[in-house]
Structure 1
Amino acid sequence: MLTQSENSQFQTVPSESRIPLRVKNLKKRFGRLDVLKGISMTAQSGDVISILGSSGSGKSTFLRCLNLLEEPTDGEIWIAGRHVKARGRLGSPREVNALRAKLGMVFQHFNLWSCKTVLENIIEAPIHVLGIAKQEACLRAEELLLKVGLADKRHDYPAHLSGGQQQRAAIARALAMEPEILLFDEPTSALDPELVGEVLKVIRSLADEGRTMLIVTHELAFARQVSNHVVFFHQGQVEEEGHPDELFRRPTSPRFKQFLSAQIGEGCP
């Protein structure tokens, strides 16, 4: 168990321990620019929440604030009962790393270590962060590579993989930490169109397993099929949210209607 100093911004809240994620009034400012203007969100166990919005609406910044890659300006975050008061010093590196271990992050541009094989990429964090024995980590990695369809690529380097294969390896790497929540930041936007489907298939299978996920995406049809909740960001705020069937059929926000019309015009159903 983590020790807590008087100045630590991390607290354990037993009443919140069964809720994977709760965010209250999260704000982020860069200089004079308010990127997040007070985002609140709750993810129950098994929820798949798709986050939509135009470029610059704050979607990626929101995910980066959740795992403290960006330090929030204000607000509160609860992750599996761990409370972060996002104001002032966030805590020791050990506390921050313990929080991040509960969040599996899959980035837009894969972020695999180029000097390590696929297998080495997956076992690195479980060994050095979680303290898992190498043999156990390798066995778990083999299972995950089979899950994402890359069992035959275990000894390949990222440069020898297609974009879709690299992203699937990145998903396996995130899963190796056995996180409470998976965060996907535009997981298909860097891929050639013919490779998008293989990555979405893996994410859909994770949803079918009941994993809790937040997915920043521009794939509207996918968001509608896989999510049980959709949130639309506009200018750093939640402009509209709800169940995908209701939201896509009867949007109420003029800005969201405009967003949908633009996406449909570009060929998105």
Structure 2
Amino acid sequence: MSTESNPAVAQENPWADPAFVATYERWADPTTANLARIALDRTGIGTGSTILDVGTGVGALAVPAAKRGCSVLAFDSSALMVERANRRLVGFSDARAVRMDARAFDLDDDSFDAAFAIFSVTLTPHRDASLREMVRVVRPGGIVCVVNWATRYGSPVFEIVAQAMEQLDLLPAGGMGHQIARLDEGQLSRAGCVDVSVEPIGSPGEPGDMPAPTEFLKELSPLFRVIPGFSNLQPAQLGELRSLIADKVTHGGPWNLEATLGIGHVPGN
């Protein structure tokens, strides 16, 4: 996969930018996978279960689910993400990734034992439609599981950059554009789930979760092109930002992952 970045593509549709996807796989997927494994543990999903992974990315949940002996169908709207997920699923005969629209699944009713969405549908404007679709395709008595960020900007790396840009007055009017809406029981209940539970989950930050302070901005810049105004920063502004971020990474933290896990059940017949 080429890692040459196209800033215009990255800002309009980051999942279509090879550099964004490669950076995401290197730095974001491992931490996402930690929380995906917690979701699998909490739901008790194991060998023989049929799993749908909605908005799979590069397979943060699909791969560990396949390793547990599940039959996995994962999907994403990004062709590049699907390609990377399928490469990681090679060797699992009953696991694959496809392209699909998260607003209307091209799947039959009652097809899966469980459906998971790890940092995907809750970040989209069509969240409620996607949650209803997850309920529709899970059999009666099955599980719908959603993991959502519990902090304003999600991943700690975005929190670091957002704070630095705010401090240097580099964000345009409107700031980051949006903040992450919290996950609550009502969202799953309205989608059709019963016996809903929502709990905080997380994992401690590890030394290898982020680049070195002096390399942080350079290494992760393809991800940050989605931040309003980032692509238009001038060299002097980037220099100030780089210095402030390095200081925050060195002296800040701990940079823990904070998320919310929601689990609901599809009503039985």
Return the TM-score normalized by structure 1. Answer: 0.26
More helix by share: 2
Higher relative contact order (CA 8 A, sep 6+): 1
Return the TM-score normalized by structure 2. Answer: 0.26
